[in-house]
Amino acid sequence: MSKKILVTGGTGFIGSHTVVELQQAGFDVMIIDNLSNSYEWVVDSIEKVSGIRPEFSNIDLCNKEALSKFFLLNSDIAGIIHFAAFKAVGESVLNPMKYYRNNVLSLINLLECTTAAGINNIVFSSSCTVYGQPDELPVSETTPFKTPYSPYGYTKQVSEKILEDYSSSAKKNVISLRYFNPIGAHKSAIIGELPIGIPNNLIPYLTQTAIGKRECLNIWGNDYDTPDGT
């Protein structure tokens, strides 16, 4: 069996760390990323950390033609870890169609291409936003979905449903990872979270404020169940 794994969004924060872990576990890793929120030099950084340079292709997954050509040349891929998506909750509220088009269309294109290439194993990067405002904490795999609070959350719910139907009909192996605000960096500090422009996630904004790159960190609200209400 091939040990070649494709990581979409592999130059991003979670993707780049996953690539390193896969390489160190003995897998041959390929990356697809359109660099909409990351940098191509991350490929150099991955090589510095692992000693192995992953093969990189600058492809927008919404470009079905380019994606199809990639799979024609790489039909020996054993599995795919799909991280590539827009992920800013606030931006999705302001520009919902951008998120529906990118996050859902890219997944559909990917699944159609993997079907044609005979690839049977897919790991999907979902989100805890699929749970909406849960009735109980902590959530578990059996916690029911509730109405998400953003178009971003809807794209993850829709994507999971697409994958459920796809795996049932095409007899594919699919799993969804639901997580919220992952943080940290590789112990070498060579790779970490460095989004393009102003961060939309808390931790990079916090760290950039700490080093003086951002003027201040705003804390919104005053009625939370915390000692000072924030």
CB within 8 A of 2, min separation 6: which ones? 28, 76, 77, 78
Distance CA 230, CA 220 (A): 7
Evaluate whether 47 touches 53 at the Cβ level (below 8 Å): yes
Among residues 152, 154, 166, 224, the one annotated as catalytic is 152
| Structure tokens that stand for 69 in this block | 């050509």
60 CB-contact burial (10 Å; exposed 0-12 / middle 13-18 / buried 19+): middle
152 is known as an active-site residue: yes
Evaluate whether 98 touches 151 at the Cβ level (below 8 Å): no
- The residues assigned a catalytic role are 152
